[in-house]
Structure 1
Amino acid sequence: MATALSASLSVSLAGILANILDIGSANYPINFNPNVVFTDGAGAGQANKIFTDTRSLAASASEDLDLNGTTLIDAFGNAMAMTKLKALIVYAAPGNTNDVVVGGASSNGVFSMFGASTDTVKVKPGGFLVLAAPTAAGYAVTAATADLLKIANGSSGSGVTYTIVLIGA
């Protein structure tokens, strides 16, 4: 049985920058809400695979998520093999002591979003990383040569918990 994907990813920032003056005040309201909508398919603005999970890593541990293998299983028990990564969300649990480190696979890494195998992003406790690539190409995932996304515990002493969302085609 086939599945169909429909997803909307948005980031919202609302705030006010205020300046108290001698006589009165000045306010600058900030409303920034970029949004990406995915319909079912593999082209621009499309995706047909989604993986979600909350995972834990022991102190100093890491794992490689194979985006083009058979290790990622969707909510219906289907193995997924992505060739394009359209969105990535990594949320580090607020109770973590250590950072959740994304990227830096020693070999076969998905480098198209980082630039080099040693490039990483540290997601602080309670923080999140969001990348979206709604273009037809997305971030390239190539079987056996560029398909591993490394997630690591940034230090020793305590474990970390993180939630990950991968949307792709």
Structure 2
Amino acid sequence: MSSLKTTIRAGIGYESKKSLDQRDVVDTVTASPDILLGSGTGTGKADIAFCDTRTLAASSSENLDLAGGITDAFGATVNFVKVKAIEIENPAASLSNLTIGASGANAFVGPFADASDGIVLKPGEKVILVSPAGWPVTPATADILKVANSAGGSVDYKIKIVGASA
């Protein structure tokens, strides 16, 4: 039996300082706390994960089948019933934009408003999307996460998906 413990860090903290007459005024905002997902399948839990560095040629795309079309680090087929978190990074050295989502047929809608919506990641950009309750994945009708590369050149993008099998 395996278990999965997930830590999601996606917060912005900063300190802004302005020197005034005989004093400094500081505005400090702390980063949001980590989101922790325990091992399991309910709200706030996850039991399966997928992580990969994938290569897309210029002007190409791929459809990641979240319901049985990808394998985990142990070689087991991953079958998400709910997706709890997605992280996708287009490396700074990339020469192309990546579009995430906007799949059309059998699209995993998840965090998007509808099947035609997508997120464009320029070189050096990363997106982290989190839902402790999870976004549903429906085999054969709502299970395709599309990743498309523009015409700039080949891209070795990084992707992590955490979710639940039930």
Q: TM-score, normalization: structure 2?
A: 0.92
| Cα offsets for 1:50-94 (capped at 9, x unmatched) | 00000111111111100002x211111110111100000001111
Unaligned ranges ≥5, structure 2? none
Q: Which has the higher strand share?
A: 2
Residue 31 of structure 1 deviates from its aligned partner by 1.2
Of residues 101-110 and 18-27 in structure 1, the stretch that sits farther from structure 2 once superposed is 18-27
Cα distance in structure 2, aligned partners of 1:90 and 1:19: 36
2:129 to 128, 131, 147: 131
Residue 146 of structure 1 corresponds to 142
Residue of structure 1 in register with 2:39 after alignment: 40
Q: Within 5 A, what are the aligned runs for 1:116-127?
A: 116-127=114-125
Residues 18-72 of structure 1, C-alpha deviation per residue, up to 9 Å, x if partnerless?
A: 2343554322112113321112211011111000000111111111100002x21
Return structure 1 stretches of 4+ with deviation > 3 angstroms.
Answer: 20-25
**Per-residue deviation at 1:98?**
1.5
| Cα distance in structure 1, aligned partners of 2:37 and 2:14 | 27
Q: TM-score, normalised by structure 1?
A: 0.90
The SS at the match of 1:112 is coil
Name the structure 1 match of 2:151. Answer: 156
Q: Percentage identity across aligned positions?
A: 34
Query: Could you report, residue by residue, the CA deviation over 1:84-137 in whole angstroms, capped at 9, with x for unpaired residues?
Result: 0000000111101222211100210011310111111112212210011112xx
Shift in CA distance, 92/147, structure 1 to aligned 2, threshold 3 Å = same
Who is 1:101 aligned against?
99
| Partner of residue 61, structure 2 | 62
| Rounded Cα–Cα distance in structure 2 between residues aligned with 1:146 and 1:129 | 21
The code of the aligned residue for 2:34 comes to N
CA RMSD of superposed structures (Å): 1.4
* Number of corresponding residues: 164
